Amino acid sequence: MTSDLRGAWTRVEKKRSHRLRNTILMLVGVSGVVAVVVPQSRAWLMSRLGGLGIGGGYRPRTLEAAIEVEAPVSTVYNQWTQFEEFPQFMEGVEAVQQLDATRLHWVATIAGKRAEWDAKILEQHLNRQISWISEDGRKTRGTVTFEPLGHSRTLVRLSMSYQAEGAREAVGSAAGLDSRRVERDLESFKQFLEARGAETGAWQGDISAGKTH
């Protein structure tokens, strides 16, 4: 290939590269997320942009985390049933009011905005599981499970999903900020309980399909 042909080919490739770069920067600028895109990550970028509402609404976010707590499963479960204690170890949670055996009123700050909503406990089984869903306000649901790892150690698994409201929350989720927040909450719960050495209270009832038994 002659030097003239090589020079012409180089100029064509540069133009293509610049067009691709500008297109990517435009898309990323809409979402507010900075990313370096290579062919292998194209699907990743498109999934994030779709989740941010480009071409559609905001999709539900699912967050999962787990932690081992140095306490018997009964102690860990009992402490988790004390919902009004959540503000002591959950970031951004201002208050949780237990309205009755199956209903909770939440007040929290999320993405810099104060929000209130009611949640209903759907399933609550002794030393095993608690599941809930929001009744109004924020669209949230979650499940926490408790697995004994011997006599004095418990594995806590938390899975939560919520509908992002606005680009700020959606971008935060895409950046993994919410996952880190859930992990910090579990770590704070672990420290709170292990420092006390005992639960602050207990509720031994059973709930199935949103009804107490």
On whether both 28 and 123 belong to a single domain, the answer is: no
Give the integer Cα–Cα distance in Å for 132 and 120. Answer: 5
Question: Please, which residues have CB within 8 angstroms of residue 84's CB and are 6 or more apart in sequence?
Answer: 95, 96, 97, 98
For 38, the token pair is 């290579």
On whether both 64 and 35 belong to a single domain, the answer is: no
On whether both 71 and 162 belong to a single domain, the answer is: yes
On whether both 64 and 165 belong to a single domain, the answer is: yes
On whether both 148 and 201 belong to a single domain, the answer is: yes
On whether both 38 and 124 belong to a single domain, the answer is: no
On whether both 35 and 136 belong to a single domain, the answer is: no
Across the chain, mean pLDDT equals 78
Q: Is the pLDDT of residue 35 over 50?
A: no
Residue that wins the pLDDT comparison between 116 and 56? 116
At residue 52, the pLDDT reads: 43
On whether both 108 and 173 belong to a single domain, the answer is: yes
What residues are paired with 61 via a beta bridge? 162
Q: Is the pLDDT of residue 14 over 50?
A: yes
pTM of the full structure? 0.69
On whether both 133 and 35 belong to a single domain, the answer is: no
On whether both 8 and 82 belong to a single domain, the answer is: no
Quick check: 101 and 205 in contact, CB under 8 A?
yes
Angle at 23 between CA 17 and CA 29, to 5 degrees: 130
Q: Is the pLDDT of residue 127 over 70?
A: yes
Q: Predicted confidence band at 33 (pLDDT cuts at 50, 70, 90)?
A: very low
Give the integer Cα–Cα distance in Å for 160 and 60. Answer: 10
Give the integer Cα–Cα distance in Å for 96 and 122. Answer: 17
Which domain range does residue 15 map to?
A: 3-51
On whether both 152 and 199 belong to a single domain, the answer is: yes
Task: Report the CATH number that the domain containing residue 143 is assigned in CATH.
Answer: 3.30.530.20
Q: How many structural domains is the chain composed of?
A: 2
At residue 103, the pLDDT reads: 97
At residue 139, the pLDDT reads: 76
Q: Is the pLDDT of residue 122 over 80?
A: yes
Q: Is the pLDDT of residue 144 over 50?
A: yes
Give the integer Cα–Cα distance in Å for 197 and 105. Answer: 28
Quick: pLDDT tens for 88-119.
Answer: 999 999 999 999 999 999 999 877 888 899 99
Residue that wins the pLDDT comparison between 182 and 60? 182
CA 47 to chain centroid, in Å, comes to 17
Q: Predicted confidence band at 193 (pLDDT cuts at 50, 70, 90)?
A: very high
On whether both 202 and 110 belong to a single domain, the answer is: yes
At residue 105, the pLDDT reads: 96
Mean pLDDT for the stretch of residues 39-56: 48
